[in-house]
A and B are shown apart, each in its own frame.
Chain A
């Protein structure tokens, strides 16, 4: 499928998103990104509506993770990365010269593909964002742990063993712990990169339920490989292909009546 990329032509992105009423918390304008000389994102323009769940779908290697990792500047770790365009969180350009990356990351939470709890106790894992922030007040920490673990539907399972190592938990529990950690700092945006791809179906169902529950409280951007999942959990869906944003609209339309033939091909399983 990559053989004649050069000859492919791309139309402009088709938009038909559902508005949340509170406006866009995140605005991405004309974002181009290169890993060294290889361009990975082309002129992506995409508002992320506040308080809604936005799913990113597309074939492997199309740049979903890259785009997601731009939002909290995780890509800064990559050598030879080049970016132009604009990315605004609540009106501030996060790639502005002198922008505080650490402060930015504190306003977001991120959940990764594989659960990555730290080799510490469950308690310490959840409050890690507060620890690095210098919070030492015991009552605040305890309240946070309870709120975050309740938020990630883990409280009842672990409330009696908060001091035990997080590494003794099952994969699904570990991933929910990572979600608890991500929401412990009360983020404005919650970023999830294929959070279920390393989990079994039961754990996956639990996480999906959790996302639905969190949907009201947080703005969520989730990358997923699984189209049913995108359909189940999201309000808006963005379809990406070869580094371009092809179509971005409300989830129902995207899956039932997509406007772009490429989206049509992908959601009906003709490629990808």
Chain B
């Protein structure tokens, strides 16, 4: 009111029309639009980068297993190199090397600013060459061809073999054949592979079972000793049992070992003689050949077959060749098992904590302090959790469990070292703030009218929480759990301290009592990426595996999240249409 009066006194001359613009055009800084554009642009850029990254990972991951052609190049020094061309790049040849070249080539290189192009070939045959990859400069190449009869053989040892077949030996008899489609070759190969599989079964399952029983007997003896002393009847009985059963088990062991030895002997009589591109011969036992194909002479269906058989091997078997080849089943299994166990641990713990904080605790300074602390926990570097997990869970908790329940196995730790259980709990601790915060929010979002309606019906506080508040907050709680899961499944650093290993020969679930072994160390896709790509002898060979494994990790987390989100949305639909 008063402002209006002032204005009138300030402009006594009423002849000035009010509509005349009296202010300057709006300053650009006062407008919001440029910022909106800038922020929108930044968002778009961020999205584009993420999508680009995903496309790159998936593209590389998907093409890794496509069988590539093998090219044989002859260079000026009359050397022949055969291999899969993996990538081509520009480089600056050293001046000393340049001087030795013909003037024409020198000119063409200097024309392109001193750059020349070179290609990396995956030549395989590590046992012959001591290298897997070789660079070939383009200007050195005199002849390029794709020999039709060249073979690409994946082996259990020494990486791929790139060569032609000379003959095969079956049961010590040499058969002259250069064709891998020869039924005699196929049959002999199949027999060798089957025998190899059987040997593995014997060694892993059958002999494993005997060792397990022997171990149990020995542990029984130690148990009896710890329980009743050295001179007790208990101890004597256990010792007698051990003595009685040992010969029997050892006889079984011997029989199995003999069977395996026989199979090995048979397998050593099946081999194939290969000749590499330079004429060097190499004999390879047939059972060591995982698969062999003609990269330059195969039908579309054969390529597809090789592609899928590689994928199947990848997701269904164990790694070999320092993790750069073979499968990653243990890592998939380990990641999934650990994430699930983490969720099983984190969900109830986080929800109960949040319920107490929000519904029962007296809202005061203490609760506010607890709440701030919980929020800050989310910011603690994850490696710190790893240290804590190792120190508290493995050494203190696990150590005590060993003392109490497994004294007969000491000094070998059972729970007193990193393992699946401790890793899951460590991650649960790491992600529990996420669940607490989300649950608290979901609880406080439950309308007061709902609670009052329930209480007015004569429901107790707990009944109200159980029947009304929790179901209604469930979608929000699920969101928290999903976030926790996503965070936990991708975490690697703390796991390296509490149970993840480079190679875990035994899965945490197997046929030996008690079937689920939560104390075992395990493999993890995240750690596998780190290990295969950056820690192995042959990181060039591991590179494609990085992409495939990354793709699989992303896929696994994606699948778990989609499942959880589907469940949550189904719940949400239940509450749709409520008007509070």
Cβ-defined contact, B452 with A116, below 8 A: yes
Complex Cα spacing A119 to B463, Å: 15
Confirm or deny: B31 has a beta carbon within 8 angstroms of a beta carbon on chain A.
no
Is the Cβ of B458 less than 8 Å from the Cβ of A102?
yes
Is B490 part of the contact surface with A, judged by Cβ < 8 Å?
Answer: no
User: Are the C-beta atoms of A128 and B455 separated by less than 8 Å?
Assistant: no
CA distance A108 to B463 in the complex (A): 18
Main SS class of interface, B: helix
B residues with CB within 8 A of A = 447, 449-450, 452-460, 463, 467-468, 471-472, 574-580
Query: CB within 8 Å of B: which of A216-272?
Result: none
Contact partners of A112 in chain B: CB under 8 A: 449, 452-453, 456
Whether A167 lies near B575 (C-beta < 8 A) is: yes
CB <8 Å contact, A105 and B457: yes
List the B side residues contacting A151 at CB < 8 Å. none
Give the contacting residue for B458; candidates A105, A115, A165, A178; CB below 8 A: A105
Q: A112-B452, A116-B450, A132-B463 are in contact. Are A181 and B577 (CB under 8 A)?
A: no
CA distance A182 to B452 in the complex (A): 12
| Interface assignment of A185: CB less than 8 Å from any CB of chain B | yes
B459 & A132 in contact (Cβ 8 Å cutoff): yes
- Once the chains bind, are A167 and B578 in contact (CB under 8 Å)? yes
Are the CB atoms of A129 and B452 closer together than 8 Å? no
Contacts of A110 in B (CB 8 A): 452-453, 456
Interface centre among A115, A118, A182 (most CB of B within 10 A): A118
On chain B, the residues within 8 Å of A117 by CB distance are 453, 578
Does residue A18 face the partner (Cβ distance < 8 Å to B)?
no
Which of B447, B449, B472 has most chain A Cβ within 10 Å? Answer: B449
Q: Given A102-B460, A116-B449 in contact, is the A128-B454 Cβ separation under 8 Å?
A: yes
**Cα–Cα distance between A182 and B455 once the two chains are bound (Å):** 11
Residues of A within 8 A of B579 (CB): 114-115, 167, 171
- 12 A-B residue pairs with Cβ-Cβ distance under 8 Å, sorted by A, are A115-B579, A116-B450, A117-B578, A118-B450, A118-B453, A118-B467, A119-B578, A128-B454, A128-B457, A167-B577, A168-B577, A182-B457
**A residues less than 8 Å from B576 (CB atoms):** 167
Cβ of A133 within 8 Å of any chain B Cβ, yes or no, is: yes
Contact with B along A149-187 (1 / 0, CB 8 A): 000000000000000010110010000001001100100
Q: Which residue of B lies closest to A106 (CB)?
A: B458
Cα–Cα, bound, A168→B580 (Å): 13
Given contacts A105-B456, A106-B457, A128-B457, 5 further A-B contacts (CB under 8 A): A102-B459, A108-B456, A167-B575, A171-B579, A182-B457
Q: Which residues of A sit under 8 angstroms from B463, Cβ to Cβ?
A: 132
Q: A165-B577, A167-B577 are in contact. Are A116 and B457 (CB under 8 A)?
A: no
- CB-based nearest A residue for B363: A79
- Asked whether A118 lies within 8 Å of B449 as measured between CB atoms, the reply is no
Q: Is the CB of B449 within 8 A of A132?
A: no
How many Å from the CB of A225 to the closest CB on chain B?
A: 18
CB of B452 within 8 A of CB of A185, answer no
